[in-house]
Structure 1
Amino acid sequence: MTAEATAPVTPEEIKALKTRLKATWEAGDYGYFARHLEPGALEFLERLPIERGTRMLDVACGAGQISIPAARTGAIVTGVDLASNLVDQARSRARSENLDIRFEEGDAESLPYEDETFDLVVSLIGAMFAPRPDRVAAELVRVCRRGGTIVMANWTPESFVGQMFKTVGKHVPPPPGMASPLLWGNEDTVKERLGSQVSQLRITRRRYPFNYPFPPAEVVEHFRQYYGPVNRAFASLDEQGQDNLRTDLEALWEHHNESTDGTTSCRPEYIEVHGVR
């Protein structure tokens, strides 16, 4: 049985799961959390085929980490995210810079746009977390014009971030029946999901810079406070369970930390997926 086949299928199951996921991503403060991730987001953005007037859709846009700098270059940007508070943050940031960006609440599995609306459809570590990947793949393709480009960045299962999610999952199991988001970081799986719908499919392994001006223990606390999935995981545990999760996460960050000066840095792997509709 494939991972997709195990996903919830009844309307009640889907509704309950989506409610849970929405609450997860609205927890913490992803807009603040993502500030330390901006350098990697800008590296990703620099490789996108953006010109003045490019109609770009940013799927799972968060607080506008790539939508806003893309709009600065003259792209016509739309951002969509499941978390309403992040959409509000993105709108506020765009207004503060007098940028005309359309930010909307929406679902990567059912994008609220007509067929072939965009020249470029992008998701930076976002759409991979939707529970029904076959629908996500179909939607990314559907809203992209023929000849347009689809680009995703997805954590690999074997990356440091993949290990972090697996560590959290040992303490707080993911929702039953939900396909692992990390399968979007497997090259063969991506080819199965997108290969028949796009041409010129190119998958490149890259490294994302994580740099924090504080030690690993404080990084774990930073994730606990501001990153929705980790925030909700801690909140679901009793005091002993939280201590155990914290201990395991601190050990993981210590092991992968490349800094020796009291700060934290590592470069987890992701795959960058390019396809042409």
Structure 2
Amino acid sequence: MGTTDIAATDAAQQDTELKNKHRRMWGLGDYPRVARELVSPLGEVLVDALHISEGEGERVLDVAAGTGSAAVRAARLGATVVASDLTRELIDAGRAENPDVDLTWDVADAEALPYADDEFDVVMSCIGVMFAPHHQQAADEMVRTCRPGGRIGIVSWTPEGAIGQLFATMKQYVPPPPPGASPPPLWGNEDHVRDLLEDRVRDVRFRRLTLPVTHFEDGAQFRDYFAAHYGPTIAAYAAHADDPARTEELSRDLAALGDSQGTGSGADFAMQWEYLLVTAEVR
């Protein structure tokens, strides 16, 4: 085996290990609960922005769908929908939570989608594709699978918003990403998304919006919720399971972040989680 072949084999093995790590991380905790209790309204926002309407019968692909808040909304409107995600546990949860909805649930990698070129009228992702480590590959796959004249829609947390800042806070507590992997909240930056999509799309529209969250009474409750249910936060704590002092620093920083992102107190405590909504038409 030549040097080039060895390098290619090593790269493939590293990519497999990275994807397995992502699968395990999103299988931690209870992300389906996070989806139900906090972020499910974003699915409706995305589907409505893409003008997926009753009676149209469009073919829709939801990439990195999680438990499928966007996919389910589109299917209920009559679209022929495929919900795909890297993590089987999330796909299984979405199927179990929506037994009456007619859609296809697939385990699939956003960076290597098992679908034909131009197969779908709409390709979308709701706070999902942003977590694929290689942003350009994931963007290329979204464009590839959408027909010319079809629509792409993406919702991502912004770097400046509450969840973007959650990742910025946790960054100092987790190992650095491998070479070539990009931070998820970059998908919430307009210039970054323009660079990913390039001139393959037209009529690109960016909207910064906020998701109102009134689930917590203070920053400590925000921290405790994510530490119990959100895979990336659970992984950050696990990285310091044998270091009580470092764990305490993480807990203190996450509570302070929650307080800084909210207004009011007690039952009146409210947060506004900023996200970027992107829609475009494929050329």
Q: TM-score, normalised by structure 1?
A: 0.91
Distance 1:33 1:69 in 2: 17
In our comparison, the structure showing a higher alpha carbon Rg is 2
Distance 1:204 1:196 in 2: 19
Cα distance, 1:89 vs structure 2: 0.7
Correspondent of 2:144 among 125, 142, 151? 142
1:262 and 2:267 aligned: yes
Q: CA RMSD in A?
A: 1.6
Name the amino acid aligned to 1:70: A
Deviates more, 1:33-42 or 1:161-170: 33-42
Name the amino acid aligned to 1:50: I
Match in the other structure for 2:6: none
Match in the other structure for 1:76: 80
Deviates more, 1:260-269 or 1:167-176: 260-269
Cα distance, 1:42 vs structure 2: 2.6
CA gap of 1:263–1:245, structure 2 versus 1, over 3 A, is: farther
Correspondent of 1:221 among 199, 214, 224? 224
Match in the other structure for 1:4: none
Distance 1:87 1:40 in 2: 18
Match in the other structure for 2:205: 202
Distance 2:281 2:145 in 1: 12
1:241 and 2:235 aligned: no
Name the amino acid aligned to 2:154: M
Q: Any residues of structure 2 matched to 1:50-199 within 5 Å, and which?
A: 50-51=52-53, 52=55, 53-95=57-99, 98-177=100-179, 178-199=181-202
Cα distance, 1:255 vs structure 2: 1.3
Name the amino acid aligned to 2:64: A
Distance 2:43 2:263 in 1: 20
Distance 1:123 1:39 in 2: 14
Cα distance, 1:213 vs structure 2: 4.5
Name the amino acid aligned to 1:129: F
Name the amino acid aligned to 2:276: I
Match in the other structure for 2:22: 21
Checking the alignment, whether the CA contact within 8 Å between 1:37 and 1:209 is kept in structure 2 is: no
Cα distance, 1:175 vs structure 2: 2.1
Distance 1:77 1:250 in 2: 39
Checking the alignment, whether the CA contact within 8 Å between 1:213 and 1:263 is kept in structure 2 is: no
Distance 1:101 1:167 in 2: 37
Distance 1:11 1:91 in 2: 31
Checking the alignment, whether the CA contact within 8 Å between 1:223 and 1:230 is kept in structure 2 is: yes
Cα distance, 1:211 vs structure 2: 2.5
Checking the alignment, whether the CA contact within 8 Å between 2:262 and 2:272 is kept in structure 1 is: no
Distance 1:27 1:171 in 2: 17
Name the amino acid aligned to 1:241: R
Name the amino acid aligned to 2:28: A
Q: Percent of aligned positions with the same letter in both sequences?
A: 37
CA gap of 1:80–1:263, structure 2 versus 1, over 3 A, is: farther
| Residue correspondences, number | 267
Q: TM-score, normalised by structure 2?
A: 0.89
Distance 1:126 1:55 in 2: 19
Runs of 4+ off more than 4 Å: none
SS class of match (1:240): helix
SS class of match (2:264): coil
Deviates more, 1:71-80 or 1:9-18: 9-18
Cα distance, 1:250 vs structure 2: 0.3
Match in the other structure for 1:3: none
